[in-house]
Structure 1
Amino acid sequence: MLESFRPPLKERHLKVLIEFPGFAFISSLMWISCFNDSREVLLADTIRTVEGYSDLIVLRHFESGAARRAATIAGIPIVNAGDGPGQHPSQALLDVYTIEREIGKLDGIKVGLVGDLANGRTVRSLTYLLAKYKDVKIYFVSPEVVKMKDDIKDYLTSKGVDWEESSDLVEVASECDVVYQTRIQKERFGERLDLYEKARGKFIVNQNILNAMQRHAVIMHPLPRLDEITVDVDADPRAAYFRQAKYGLYIRMALLKLLLVGC
């Protein structure tokens, strides 16, 4: 069950079908209407209504903290599928799985987070999760207008995690096991398109970055991409983002099974 509150979905319907081979989860389709002004939808009423139809709710909302509020209301599990610029926990799960699968370890790695770090919820959740592993170092590479917020940096410092901000993507790429690229999110800039244009295109993963990277390192991206990774990079075996997306299917299937029927 998926609920989306984002205004661009006005007069659209979302068709939700989950295929889970060997596991009876959903036997029918649910159609969800989305409103022009998301504030017309009362979160509490929506959650209380939908939980009567479902065993679990996967929630994407435009406001940070919405999933946490929904969890205090619902009597069934809530999966946060993204709450504005806040968090995206299931993406972080598939990201650490991808790193483990591709690199072979999580302890002692160096990860470069690149792009829109102020608005990107995926990098926030990934940072929190990486902080639980030993001897991890995190590099933040972003335009000045979309730097990682202080709450994340303070959290890393409180956990004793080594982190560094840099404006040199080539140097960071040469040091890292993982280069995690993200798009600059135009929709987060509102009417300040001048700031968007200032940020866009500043840090591009291209052949120059590939040449600087170590042979074992990988490039990741939560997708969709715009032009922040050039298409010619796709042919390099270190381009892991499409494999990363595939791993996401299995991680989320496992998450649903864990929440609904246990281990």
Structure 2
Amino acid sequence: MLTRVNEHPRRAAVRHLVTTDGMTREDVLRFIHLAEHLRGLPRERLRQRLPGRVIATLFYEPSTRTRLSFESAALKLGANVVGAENAIENSSAKKGEALADVFRIVGAYADAIVVRHHEPYTMAEAARLSPVPIINAGAGWGEHPTQALLDLYTISRELGRIDGLRIAVMGDLKYGRTVHSLLNLLRLFPGVRVTLLHLASLGLPEPLAHRLRADGLELTEASDVAAVLPEVDVVYQTRVQRERLERPEELEGAGRFRIGPEELALLPAHARILHPLPRVDELDAAIDEDPRAAYFRQAENGLYMRMAILDDLLGGDAV
């Protein structure tokens, strides 16, 4: 949700991107349009979007794509970057500093803060305390809004639309924050039908599933991957979040939900496979060169979507 807080002299209205709750279809389409616009601008014009701005990145969990794409996005827009790659070890968090103090202090140094944290409820507190925009770059098992936006940007670029698509979501739906945010945005697009493929122990949290259905998203459960794949336009594959498992037995049978050459042969020619990455063994490298494998293009799209997010929140030059 793009929330506004009017309590700090640095901005008349501070806007944050901490959750997909409250976002509208128009918000999503605006970000997609802006990402595509920025993609086409010459390098020298991009550098004029956010000159002199400072973006702080605070990552309390590991990251490759999200951190580097945000930092690259900021630099391409003419901003500067400061931050802590492993903030839980390489910042004053190691000394016991309260997060509340961190957000207040870093907000005095930077024009926006990109945060990844292992606690899902941290972002709301950050948005309440920070005098500058907070961007949720992944919050525990909760949400990952910027990933969901780049996922929809990828679907739109690859298939030309989002409305009315048939989408299979596979893997860890319990702890997979990318899935939670993606489904929350898919409910905004008419006619989308989602099939959930997962181990019984790793299903979508029931409160979320109930709310999505109440909001009109068509969700069905299935267990036979081979029966589902011929009927879909998009497969959204995810890894099991081993670092968040409560019990080792939650992993039993995970091999059923993988995609390799045999599964690829079942997909329609127009379909696309997405994955937020990193992958482990749920996505066979043997299929990487197939045009339906869109996950590397998806990762590249993250750069442009995160450029759009920074540009939008920090008031870059009008499109």
By the TM > 0.5 criterion, same fold?
Answer: yes
Could you tell me how far 1:232 is from its partner in structure 2? 0.8
Q: Does the Cα contact within 8 Å between 1:174 and 1:212 map onto a contact in 2?
A: yes
Aligned partner letter, 2:291: P
Could you tell me how far 1:96 is from its partner in structure 2? 0.4
Compared CA separation, residues 203 and 70, structure 1 to 2 (3 A): same
Does residue 1:108 correspond to 2:161, yes or no? no
Aligned to 1:215, the other structure's residue is in SS state coil
Aligned to 1:201, the other structure's residue is in SS state helix
- The unaligned stretches of length 5 or more in structure 1 are none
CA distance in 2, matches of 1:148, 1:39: 36
Does residue 1:4 correspond to 2:59, yes or no? yes
Does residue 1:186 correspond to 2:212, yes or no? no
CA distance in 2, matches of 1:17, 1:64: 23
Q: Which moved more, 1:149-158 or 1:44-53?
A: 149-158
| Corresponding residue for residue 123 of structure 1 | 179
Compared CA separation, residues 189 and 215, structure 1 to 2 (3 A): same
Q: Does the Cα contact within 8 Å between 1:115 and 1:143 map onto a contact in 2?
A: yes
Aligned partner letter, 2:201: V
Identity %: 40
Could you tell me how far 1:65 is from its partner in structure 2? 2.0
Could you tell me how far 1:185 is from its partner in structure 2? 1.2
| Corresponding residue for residue 279 of structure 2 | 225
Compared CA separation, residues 130 and 185, structure 1 to 2 (3 A): same
Does residue 1:257 correspond to 2:315, yes or no? no
Aligned to 2:194, the other structure's residue is in SS state strand
Compared CA separation, residues 129 and 38, structure 1 to 2 (3 A): farther
TM, length-normalised to structure 2? 0.75
Could you tell me how far 1:35 is from its partner in structure 2? 3.5
Aligned partner letter, 1:121: R
How many residue pairs match? The answer is: 255
Q: How does 1:94-243 map to 2 (within 5 A)?
A: 94-190=150-246, 192-196=247-251, 198-243=252-297
Compared CA separation, residues 172 and 39, structure 1 to 2 (3 A): farther
Q: Does the Cα contact within 8 Å between 1:184 and 1:199 map onto a contact in 2?
A: no
Does residue 1:90 correspond to 2:143, yes or no? no
Q: Does the Cα contact within 8 Å between 1:47 and 1:74 map onto a contact in 2?
A: yes
Does residue 1:76 correspond to 2:132, yes or no? yes
TM, length-normalised to structure 1? 0.90
Aligned to 2:301, the other structure's residue is in SS state helix
CA distance in 2, matches of 1:168, 1:39: 50
CA distance in 1, matches of 2:234, 2:95: 39
Q: Does the Cα contact within 8 Å between 1:122 and 1:222 map onto a contact in 2?
A: yes
Q: Comparing both chains, which one has the higher relative contact order based on Cα–Cα distances under 8 Å and sequence gaps of 6 or more?
A: 2
Compared CA separation, residues 53 and 201, structure 1 to 2 (3 A): same
Q: Does the Cα contact within 8 Å between 1:35 and 1:41 map onto a contact in 2?
A: no
